[in-house]
Structure 1
């Protein structure tokens, strides 16, 4: 699992074309709240090894985050087959993340 938010951003069409369960996580590498959330996010993802995690650096002028209406970091967008199923903004515990992961990591 990658620990850094990637500055290179996929196009929204690439995200919409994903198959299976995936989470797009928006934040920045310098964000204290993002750093503090990582242990809970990592703990939840450990229970769902089949879910793809895409960490994307967000900020002003970043179209991918705007297309998901991201306003605060970290924001996790839970997707199944390119469709948004759930969104968590600044999650504070691993259970809420695991609950959202369970919504997308199920048989088709």
Structure 2
């Protein structure tokens, strides 16, 4: 598939997700803040992490620490505009979570130019996560 077609598919998917989320009256099902993109499709996920710096937040809606750090992640997404911030609900996108061997929530994995970095932040250590964000955005 050509990259332009892939980008068009991603754009259509994001618009569709925006409309679905804006029509949803259940705000407890989503934990996104700021410019964070929720992803539940493995193909879209691979397209979004394929270039540039990316932070992926693996979370669960029932996870207390995930709810606590969500506003901070939203703030980071607005502060570090050159970095893509993605959220993956481990219950809705099990294949993505299994591929990344997610065992605890929240877990943050970092990508740079399509490559998964060894560095991951498990838990709510926002200072460590911000250091990782700074390193991939430099």
- The CA deviation at 1:12 is 8.5
Bigger helix fraction = 2
Q: Which moved more, 1:40-49 or 1:83-92?
A: 40-49
TM-score using structure 1 length: 0.77
Between 1 and 2, higher relative CO (CA 8 Å, sep ≥ 6) is seen in 1
Q: CA RMSD for the aligned pairs? A: 2.8
- Counterpart CA distance in 2 for 1:9 and 1:61 is 7
- The CA deviation at 1:54 is 1.1
Unaligned runs of 5+ in 2: 1-30
Identify if the C-alpha distance between structure 1 residues 12 and 84 changes in structure 2 by more than 3 Å, giving closer, same or farther. Answer: farther
1:10 aligns with 2:39: no
TM-score using structure 2 length: 0.62
Q: How many residues align?
A: 104
Runs of 4+ in 1 over 6 A off after TM superposition: none
Superposition pairs for residues 1-108 of structure 1, below 5 Å?
A: 3=32, 6=38, 8-11=40-43, 14=46, 18-59=50-91, 62-85=94-117, 86-92=119-125, 94-106=126-138
Unaligned runs of 5+ in 1: none
**Kept after mapping to 1: 8 A contact 2:108/2:121:** yes
Q: Which moved more, 1:12-21 or 1:25-34?
A: 12-21
